Amino acid sequence: MSSSQFSMKKEYLLEIYDRNPFVQFLEMKIADLKEGYSELIMPVDTEKHTNLYNLAHGGALASLADTAMGIACATIGNKVVTLDMNMNFIKGAKPQMGLKGVGKVIHTGRTTMVAEADIIDEDGNLILKARGTFFVIGKFE
């Protein structure tokens, strides 16, 4: 894919994810996109993202990981849905301005893709490691 084709795709992905209601609810923002790669930022707000222990809720972390991996798949041009996801929660994340979710495609097949995600806190600590399998439902044109 040429750099101009990727640039158009990048603008399209930024636009559609900016309108995604769930992404907006969790306050995720795309920080960087490359082919097969995404970086998202999500705050850990005590009013929205935390559990009873004032740490980032596992569901919020899973959503960030799933979205980072799904967007990484989309940068290759595939529309995907999650088939399977495995997560290892490494460390609790306290309220902070932004966790970084980094998604990377590690396999691209005709009907499935595999991606990994790391969730990293502001101090560079690994919070969560995820791997997902995604079913290709179509192409972004």
- pLDDT tens per residue, the chain (141 residues)? 666 667 767 888 888 888 999 999 999 999 999 999 999 999 999 989 999 999 999 999 999 999 999 999 999 999 999 999 999 999 999 998 899 999 999 999 999 999 999 999 999 999 999 999 999 999 987
**By the 8 A CB rule, do 115 and 106 touch?**
yes
Sign of the Cα pseudo-torsion (87, 15, 26, 39, in order): positive
CB atoms within 10 A of CB 51: 12
**By the 8 A CB rule, do 113 and 134 touch?**
yes
pTM of the model: 0.94
Question: Given this model, what pLDDT does residue 5 score?
Answer: 66
Pick the CATH number of 3-139 from 3.10.129.10, 3.40.50.1110, 1.20.59.10, 1.10.1130.10: 3.10.129.10
Q: Say which amino acid occupies 91.
A: K
Question: Given this model, what pLDDT does residue 42 score?
Answer: 97
Backbone angles phi, psi at 6, to 5 degrees: -65, -40
DSSP code string of 97-122: EEEEEEEEEEEE-SSEEEEEEEEE-T
Give the burial string for 74-83 (b: 16+ CB within 10 Å, else e). Answer: bbbbbebeee
